[in-house]
Structure 1
Amino acid sequence: MKSELKWENRNCLECPPPEQQLVHNIDAAAVKPGGDGRLRWVDTNVSYRRAFRYQITVTDEKGNPLSLSNPAIAKVYPGPAAPVDLTAVTQPQGIMIQWKPALKDIEGNNIDALSESFRVERLSGEKGWEKASPTLVKGNAYLDQSVAPGQSYSYRVVPALYTDEVYVLGDPSSTAQAKGPESVLPPPPDRVWITPAHGALEIHWTETDGKTGGYHVYRREGKEIIRLTATPLAHPPFVDQGAKKGATYSYAVSAVSAQADHKEGLLSKWIEVRNLITE
């Protein structure tokens, strides 16, 4: 069910809605839900600077209503225009990405610079586009330090306009390419997980992109942290034979550089586990 709201009522869920109209029927038995178990429908009959109120009605086989969902309001804004003049330059500490904000929306209207932020995204190998910046960036530059030595990356920048207490994303910029500096310390693994292994614990991790000289594994018990690997491991897993039954441990993994000095990068996130495995 759909109704169009007056623009001044776009944030008012309690305001009496205009007459609602049935805009789409979904046969739940004939539609496959997404990976999160939800059904989806896209409304293409919308326009900028208009607000719409939606509700879902559950009906029986004869079309009689059985229940009605909570209302949801969608406000349609023109997104910010894509940044231009994107560059990516290799520096000793990482890759510097710079761009020029358009400071206009896609209809050509001016945008206040203070209300616009940017999401820097990168592409490497088969991972697909991912966030290079953990938070939105203000300004026109970002230094990506979590890159692997010698690894090639593509970058793009997505503008985000803050209005009505929400972020409206625009189209991404064109792309720019650069390689991670050979001297940069390798980033930590993205994921670490633990599995039981014949009375011991196996520590696994995702291998870092680019060139590395191996990995070190750390164990934390209470406030004590020890490195379990005397020399870097070329590949996962690492088997912790010293894990005691019933003890609670946390594990983290770091990558080391491919150079002879094997300089060590940052630790991954700590993963906690309680060893309940018997021999």
Structure 2
Amino acid sequence: MKRLTLLFLLTLLAAVVSAQAPAPKNAELPAYPSPEGVWVVLAKNRPEPGPGTLLGARLLRAAAGSNDFREVAVLRAATSLAELRELAGQATIDALRAGLRLPSDEAVWTFVESHPNLDSYGVHGLSMNLRRALGTVMLDASAAQATPGTRYIYRLAPASGFKPEKAAAAAIKPLEKTVEIGRRSSLPRPRARRSLGRDSSVVVRWAARVQPGASTVFGRVYRQGPGEKSFALLPGRLLVRQVRDSAFFVLEQRVEPEAMYRYYLEPLDFVGNPGPASDTAYVLSVTPGRMPLVQRATAHDTTTGIVLRWPALPRKAYLAGIEIQRSRDARGNYVRLDTIPATATSYLDTRLLPNIGYHYRLRALLPKGIPTPGTTSATAFASHQPGTMAALLAPVALTAEPEGKGVRLRWQPAAPDLTHDAYYVYRGTSAQDSLVVVSPPLRGNVLTFLDTTARNGRREYVYAVRDANQNMQLSPFSALAAARPNRAMPVTAPLGVSAYAAGSAVQLTWDDARRDPAVVAYRLYRRAASATAAASPARASDFTRLATDLVSPAYTDAAAKAGQTYQYAVAAVDAQGNESPLSPVMVVRVTGAPLVPPGQLVARPVATGLEVSWSRPAVAPAKGYALYRRQRDQPTAQRVATLTAAQTRYLDQTAKPGTLYIYSLSALTPTAESARTPEISARR
């Protein structure tokens, strides 16, 4: 029995399967790099103390290519509450106490002491810190301080003083694995699926395809709320739910009512390595059944068309407009006639045929043109007869200037008009743009209006005013006036940054943020990679600006140096020079292109010696060239000249007449020399 126990230990420590079969040739140590260091997973349940136990097994580490192994961790299990705090951390104890509904930390330790099986802990069994306290994993925390791209060899060794039997020890092949620190996870990119908002809560769902060898376990969520300039990491993590070949994440959160929120998700593998971020989900925290509806709409015929009127909608920031639909059949077949501002309370339909009855349907719109549930309709019979009243004159002396966070309009009537009913203020974004009504009917002697719905402080708005008489006839537009409101406008950070090394250059792309019309260019930032990625959003002051005024969402960094690891981030810039927060950081290691010698080496005799020439390469070597020469009876060539990168020929004046010389050429960098060209010969 003791022999079987010893063989079982050797199987885990040295990849020996049993006394009847040799160890697999390709057995690897289950070691996984992560932001906390390198985790090594050895067992599912806590090892029992005694002969043949795993406890005390040692983790050895050496630099890649070296055999200088040093101990970096020892497998141990907590034997007291104090050791549980040391190995698992107080945060893990608090989570177990809340999840298992235990009254105290001592009760948590009693539970851990009597439950060695991870299955007893439910979702908490995914915690690497808990598994460390149970003695099923080891952590090399010092690897977290290594430079990204560093490669280590890990080896599992028995506990100090463990002496296996000679027959078993002879079959041992140590478990080893080479890992690279800082490599980006190959997890699939999630996509936002369905989002639902209610008065005080939101539900957001993401989905991703399951790929072989890439196991998504968690997701961390970033949110941007109303008035916030950038995304912030939410506390806690989402647990993935896998159904066949798809992985799903669901976020449920309490939020402020009647506000717009933006979310994106970053997937994590089981040791915490992040994958590519998802696209952005937009959620409005309003219960659909409680959204305002257009009610009590009426329609009546006038000399200029059919006039629709309705009570004003409540002023809600999430209402984007009112959609007017029309049909000749009350049973259906409605088509969209127009979309007007949410502040409007009337509409004049002039696109009519005589003696035709029209049915209308009106509904409020949310951002992105999403309709609110529910509609209200009104019908009217139109028999349009053109009016005989004198044409109205356009208002005059229109001015526009910023006031507070809005734009103040003032104007004067062109002439006294006894039939005057109201003025209407129109707004657009340019003289060529279509103007839309932004004011309610301004009745009586009102000759001013404050537009508080002009919310883009980077845009200059164009205004005009029209006069309406009691028959709903409208005057021509007044002369235009323009103004820009005094509103500070944040610029949204670009997302979807990706990068890869192409030889000694780095190719970068990102999602085009110019769907926001205010974004006119990008700025690219770079810095040498630190040991770990920053936990908080990156700041431009921590980087060196690499490029400015980029119009296209792509860039080639030809100044990158081979063998270096860089972090890149992108910012968007508006027309006023305001810069967005930086995008999520992308880490790239530049491997560099191989150093090759020049081609087409030629040697010929000239009057003063032997001339050696070669073709200029597409990329000149950093330092230059080395020219080698030997005679036929000399086995080894000697360097006769070190040349600059600009040279393509050399005159060997030391060559003796009648002697055959053999030449070869290599390329040089400050730290390396390429292979030599094939040898060529010439006789002076």
Q: In which range does the TM-score fall when normalised by the shorter chain?
A: 0.3 to 0.5
Q: Tell me the TM-score normalized by structure 1.
A: 0.36
Structure showing greater Rg: 2
Q: Tell me the TM-score normalized by structure 2.
A: 0.16
